[in-house]
Amino acid sequence: MRYEEFYQRSIEQPEVFWAEQAQRIHWHTPPQRILDTSNLPFRRWFAGGTTNLCYNAVDRHLEARGGQLALVAISAETGVTRELTYRELHREVNTFAAVLGSLGVGRGDRVVIYLPNIAEAVFAMLACARIGAIHSVVFGGFAAHNLALRIDDAQPALLIATDAGMRGGKVIPYKPLVDAALEEATHKPPHVLIVDRGLDPQMTRVADRDLDYASLRASYEGAEIPVEWLESNEPSYLLYTSGTTGKPKGIQRDVGGYAVAMAMSIEAIFDIHPGDVMFSTSDVGWAVGHSYNVYAPLIGGATSLLYEGLPTHPDPGIWWRLCERYGVRTMFSSPTGIRVLKKQDASWLKKCDLSKLKWLFLAGEPLDEPTAHWITEGLGVPVIDNYWQTETGWPALTLMPGLDLKEVKFGSPGLPAPGYRMKVIDEVTGDELPPNQKGVLVFVPPLPPGCLSTVWRDDERYVTSYFGHFKELLYSSLDWAIRDENGYTTILGRTDDVINVAGHRLGTREIEESVATHPACAEAAVVGMQDELKGQVPVVFATLRQGVTEEAVDVAKGMQQRVVDQLGKVARPARIYVVNALPKTRSGKLLRRSLLALVQHTDPGDLSTLDDPGALDEVRRALERGPEQGA
């Protein structure tokens, strides 16, 4: 079926379309009603049906592909690789489920998982799903305060942690953060289950509270735990995202709708079929990690590669060697990861046999055109941008090579995915805009299966945060966008990442894209600095590609001219700083607000998610010495 027919059917006959897609998974009890919209913006998909994510990801494959690799957990940091077949994964998940049960965890209980990309993280998630517990994976290495906030909101019956993770060869202790978080948190789970990797010999344990997973695993190895069949709309997991109030929002996902969205998207979008291999470089603590490291590949009967490490360690060829070794068909990474590799010698892309690699998907942040061109030419395979949010759980804008590959248009993540009815509207009037006019991207409810069902224990916040921005009941993405005559949508940045220069509203993304077209630029970040005359003016921080010999001042002048040529003088950066590193979170998102705070000599705020503290020092030094271009 071609994309146009597939998409239109999902919009014009949603109940028929999703009833067909629901046949991709196992139902213990068939749905009684495909879609219930009696209480919009809430909706209930596959109401009355009972199913289980773990059963669909593991048990149902045992007969046909029990001996096939299901999970390959690779740590470039420790040098350890674990290969598990579906049968072996089934045993590990049952054992973990037995351990959970022994600690009093049952249906509806929350379990906070604070682990890096290791096999036990997958075991824990699937074990929770098996017994009907609600897991909440917190990104490994989050600061104690952030972990405490999530513990207090989820109120878990158990916290699962590790002694330490590793990054770039450096051990990062987790347990002290857990101890500090539980000291701060009001809610204190009775037990902390520790996956001891032997990385932190100084780790201390709290008597009676802290338990060793390896010891309990030995006690329950070989146990068989029955599946808990859940009604389709019961919560499957919580995944926290930042909120404007400072209190993180617990994005709540359902069971049945999510399973169906994963089963459909892994084939129709990512072109992965039973027996194929998918390599997602995301962390399990993020939305991509949940959906395309764990659930979707396994539900689809594929092999999933789980990777702990950097794209450049031990060398910039590590990702491509893994693609060659395991015959990866579809790879999913981030623009940041590719921009890191872009600084390296391009010959690393040519040293491995990548004949089985068909697609590279990139998401998590806007994909700039220079990076897209570079990696497309380097790999010789289509590079498919796609746009989604933690809230959507799977791509909302993408191309679908599993159906038929439409034209790749660099700078655009593509066309609406099935079930997403989109508009670009005027931020003031709420009127839909004609093609090629900038507005706010919104989705018309009901949201398709797989999207958030509500905010954990806060239905009012769900409505006000996502559907309370316009007179019409619309889900606001809070992203600026432009849609062309053919339906291709380009994301221009957050509605709160806007620079108002003398009455002209400019998205930071637009200026960053222009700066990045300079051949010496590896990456750029733009913030709006207060200006007495114009209100705000753009300030650029840029890193350069490896091997650039041109003087920084000349590069900066060229970048400034690129912006003027492409966006006009109104967008001309007031200052351009060339730096060696940009401050980012561990998930690769630029900390623009921290950059702005440094420019304005104010507090840079919570830096608990900062990947490299030295990046902020680099920016401070640049501000002290002055810009390469501008006053």
- The pLDDT tens digits for 490-539 are 998 777 677 878 656 677 888 998 899 999 999 999 998 888 667 789 99
What local confidence, expressed as pLDDT, does residue 503 receive? 59
In angstroms, the CA 130 to CA 507 distance is 44
- Phi/psi of residue 176, each to 5°? -60, -35
pTM of the model: 0.85
At residue 243, does pLDDT exceed 70?
no
Residue appearing with tokens 């950097």: 310
- In order of 53, 85, 219, 220, 228, the CA distances from 223 in angstroms are 19, 18, 9, 6, 15
Q: Across the strands, what pairs with 441?
A: 424
Write the DSSP string, 522-570.
Answer: EEEEEEEEEETTTEEEEEEEEEE-TT--S-HHHHHHHHHHHHHHHH-GG
Mean pLDDT of 266-286: 97
Q: What is the CA radius of gyration of the chain?
A: 24
* Top CATH class, 3-309+386-479: alpha beta
What local confidence, expressed as pLDDT, does residue 281 receive? 96
**Helix (H) or strand (E) segment spanning residue 322:** helix 318-326
In angstroms, the CA 395 to CA 409 distance is 17
Mean pLDDT of 155-172: 95
3-state secondary structure of 93: helix
- Establish whether domains 3-309+386-479 and 497-630 are of one fold: no
Length reported for the chain: 631
What local confidence, expressed as pLDDT, does residue 566 receive? 76
Q: Which residues contact 67 (CB under 8 A, 6 or more apart)?
A: 85, 86, 87
For the chain, the structural domain boundaries read: 3-309+386-479, 497-630
CB atoms within 10 A of CB 485: 8
Q: How confident is the model at residue 14 (pLDDT cuts 50, 70, 90)?
A: very high
In angstroms, the CA 383 to CA 356 distance is 15
Q: Which CATH superfamily includes the segment(s) 497-630?
A: ANL, C-terminal domain (3.30.300.30)
3-state secondary structure of 325: helix
In angstroms, the CA 328 to CA 36 distance is 39
Q: Across the strands, what pairs with 577?
A: 541
What local confidence, expressed as pLDDT, does residue 504 receive? 64
What is the separation, in whole angstroms, between the first and last Cα of the chain?
57
3-state secondary structure of 194: strand
In angstroms, the CA 130 to CA 136 distance is 15
